[in-house]
Chains A and B, each alone.
Chain A
Amino acid sequence: MEKNCAIEMKGITKRFGQVVANDSIDLQINRGEVLALLGENGSGKTTLMNMLSGIYQPDEGEILKDGKTIYIRSPREAYEYGIGMIHQHYKLVEVFTSTQNIILGLNDGRMDLKAAENKVNEICDRYGFEIDASEKVYDMSVSQKQTVEIVKVLYRGADILILDEPTAVLTPQETKKLFAVLRNMKADGKAIVIITHKLNEVMEVSDKVTVLRKGKFIGTVKTSETNPQALTDMMVGHAVSLNIDRPLYPDPRKKMIIENLTCVDEEGVKKLDSVSFTANTGEILGVAGISGSGQKELLEAITGLYPVKEGSVRFIKSDGSEVELVGLTPKKIRQTGVGMAFVPEDRLGMGLVGSMGMTGNMLLRSWKKGKGALIHKKEPEALANKVMEELDVITPGVNYPVRRLSGGNVQKVLVGREIASEPEVLMTAYAVRGLDINTSYTIYNLLTEQKMKGVAVLYVGEDLDVLLELADRILVLCGGQVAGVVDARTTTKEEIGLLMTQFNAKEDER
Chain B
Amino acid sequence: MTTLITLIVAAVTFGTVLMYGTLGEILTEKSGNLNLGVEGIMYMGGAFGLAGAFYYEKAAGAAASGPVAITLAILAAFAAGFAASAIYSFLTITLRANQNVTGLALSIFGTGIGQFVGEFMRVSEGGYVALSNHLKEAFSATIFPGFLINIPVIGRILFSHTVFFYLAIVVAILMFLFLKKTRYGMYLTAVGESPSTSDAAGINITKYKYLATTIGGGISAIGGMVYIMTTAGCVWNHEGLSGVGWLAVALVIFCMWRPLNAIWGSVLFGAMMIMYLRVSIPFIPTELYKILPYIVTVIVLVLTSMRNSRDKQPPASLGNNYFREER
Contacts and interface: CB of A to CB of B under 8 A. Distances in A.
Interface of A: 75-76, 91-96, 100-101, 104-105, 107, 110-111, 136, 138
A111 B183 contact: yes
A53 B241 CA distance: 53
A289 B260 CA distance: 55
B182 interface: yes
B202 A91 contact: no
Contact of A75 (B182, B202, B203): B202
A369 B168 CA distance: 63
Nearest to B199: A91
B239 interface: no
B310 A104 contact: no
B181 to A, nearest CB: 8
A99 to B, nearest CB: 11
Q: What 5 A-B pairs have minimum CB-CB distances, sorted nearest first?
A: A105-B201, A111-B183, A91-B197, A138-B310, A105-B202
B99 interface: no
Interface in B285-327: 310-311, 313, 316
B interface majority secondary structure: helix
Q: How large is the interface on B (under 10, 10 to 19, 20 to 34, 35 or more residues)?
A: 20 to 34
B261 interface: no
Contact of A76 (B182, B196, B202): B202
A138 B311 CA distance: 9
Which of A75, A92, A95, A136 is most buried by chain B, counting CB atoms within 10 A of its CB?
A95
A100 B201 CA distance: 12
A206 B240 CA distance: 72
Contact of A111 (B186, B196, B201): B186
> Which of B183, B190, B311 is packed against the most chain A CB atoms within 10 Å?
B183
Given A105-B202, A138-B310, A92 B197 contact: yes
B189 interface: yes
Interface string B159-197: 000000000000000000000011100110110011011
30 contacts: A75-B202, A91-B196, A91-B197, A91-B201, A92-B197, A93-B189, A93-B193, A93-B194, A93-B198, A94-B310, A94-B316, A95-B189, A95-B310, A95-B311, A95-B316, A96-B186, A96-B189, A101-B197, A104-B187, A104-B190, A104-B197, A105-B187, A105-B200, A105-B201, A105-B202, A105-B203, A110-B183, A111-B181, A111-B182, A136-B311
Contacts of A95: 189, 193, 310-311, 313, 316
A79 to B, nearest CB: 9
Contacts of B202: 75-76, 105
Nearest to A74: B202
Interface in B109-156: none
Nearest to B184: A111
B190 A96 contact: yes
Contacts of B197: 91-93, 101, 104
A93 B189 CA distance: 9
Contacts of B193: 93-96
Contacts of B189: 93, 95-96
Contacts of B310: 94-95, 136, 138
Contact of A92 (B182, B183, B186, B194): B194
Contact of A91 (B186, B200, B316): B200
B182 A91 contact: no
Interface in B190-221: 190, 193-194, 196-198, 200-203
B33 to A, nearest CB: 17
A104 B203 contact: yes
A212 B98 CA distance: 43
Contacts of B186: 96, 100, 104, 111
A91 B194 contact: yes
A100 B200 CA distance: 15
Interface string B65-79: 000000000000000
A457 B68 CA distance: 82
Contacts of A104: 186-187, 190, 197-198, 201, 203
Given A111-B182, A138-B310, A93 B200 contact: no
Contact of B198 (A75, A105, A107): A105
A310 to B, nearest CB: 29
Contacts of A91: 194, 196-197, 200-201
Nearest to A152: B201
Nearest to B309: A138
Choose among A92, A94, A104, A110 the residue with the greatest number of B CB atoms under 10 Å from its CB: A104
B100 to A, nearest CB: 20
Contacts of B200: 75, 91, 105
Identify which of A100, A107, A111 gathers the most chain B CB atoms within 10 Å of its CB. Answer: A111
A93 B182 contact: no
Most chain A Cβ neighbours within 10 Å, of B201, B313, B316: B201
Contacts of A138: 310
Contacts of B311: 95, 136
Contacts of A100: 186
A147 to B, nearest CB: 16
